[in-house]
Amino acid sequence: MEYNKFRHRMNDRITNSGHLGLKRFWALDGRAYEPGELDEKTLEFCGLTTSMVLKCDDCVTYHLIRLIQLGATDNELYESLNVSLIVGGSITIPHIRRAFETIDSCRELQKTDPELTALL
């Protein structure tokens, strides 16, 4: 997926920019998904639902990939997307379409790359 190459390249560019505020936020964002009272999969589901309601396609793609890597089933993903639809309303429908496309792409890739290592 081109998305992941772009994400890695630009994350490196931003974190190497020397701007302290940007580096701090990137570190904070990464730490928010470290397991604590909630496990990593639950945290990623929170991220997915929040990203869907905020209509951030890049974020939705990232969380879908992570959830699939963590073993989420399609039905678990659909249930989370349903919550997003209820909370976010019909404005989330185009994003749900793209989410289904991402899920389908990941499942297809898993046939040859079960761990989705190409997306890391």
Q: What is the pLDDT of residues 23-62, one digit of tens each?
A: 999 999 989 999 999 999 999 999 999 999 999 999 999 9
Written as six digits, the tokens of 38 are: 């909630």
Question: DSSP class of residue 117?
Answer: G
Give yes or no: residues 13 and 53 share one domain. Answer: no
pLDDT (tens digit, 9 = 90+) per residue, 77-111? 999 999 999 999 999 999 999 999 999 999 999 99
> pLDDT-based confidence at 65, cuts 50/70/90?
very high
Give yes or no: residues 105 and 61 share one domain. Answer: yes
Number of domains forming the structure of the chain: 2
Is the pLDDT assigned to residue 1 strictly greater than 80?
Answer: no
Q: What is the pTM of this model?
A: 0.91
| Rounded CA separation 70/64 (Å) | 10
What is the DSSP track for 43-106?
HHHHHHHHHHHTT-HHHHHHHHHHHHHTT--HHHHHHHHHHHHHHH-GGGHHHHHHHHHHHHHH
- CATH code of the domain containing 61: 1.20.1290.10
For residue 76, what are the domain limits? 39-119
